[in-house]
Amino acid sequence: MAAEPRGWKAWRKAPLLSPMGLLLRAAGLVAFFAVLHAFGLREYATILCGSSPTGSRVDTLAVALAAAYIFSWFALVLGTPILVLGAGFSLLLLKLQPRKPQPPEPLPPA
């Protein structure tokens, strides 16, 4: 029987709807937004108020970058708390779940 994976391998192999899997997806959303924010894509969000960050009227790259930043921001603000709360409730339900009774041990021969 193989040993259970530990550390990062356990995080990568976590099922989607397990508490660890939900926390992994929330961390992924945070990391994706942090990367976009670090690259300065916040400036492209000015497209929401009708101005272009590049100065040209039609710039498809600016629109694509703005959409990526805006969607990642909404995913961060709306998705991450839902995933973290779901992980917490899932863990709580797993802890409160009744355990299967152990079969009685056989009596030693007399």
Model confidence pLDDT, tens digit, residues 14-58: 676 788 888 888 999 999 999 999 998 888 887 777 777 767 766
What sign for the dihedral angle of Cα 18, 23, 24, 29? positive
What is the pTM assigned to this prediction? Answer: 0.70
Question: Does any domain span residue 77?
Answer: yes
Which domain does 71 fall in, by range? 19-95
Question: Does any domain span residue 88?
Answer: yes
Question: Does any domain span residue 100?
Answer: no
Q: Look at residue 98 in the predicted model and tell me its pLDDT.
A: 78
Q: Look at residue 36 in the predicted model and tell me its pLDDT.
A: 93
The tally of domains found in the chain comes to: 1
Question: Does any domain span residue 34?
Answer: yes
The rounded distance, in Å, linking the Cα atoms of 40 and 68 is 12
The 10s digit of each residue's pLDDT in 51-98 is 777 677 667 888 888 889 999 999 999 999 999 999 999 989 888 877
Question: Does any domain span residue 5?
Answer: no
Question: Does any domain span residue 58?
Answer: yes
| pLDDT beyond 60 at 3 | no
* Local confidence band at 105 (pLDDT 50, 70, 90 cut-offs): confident
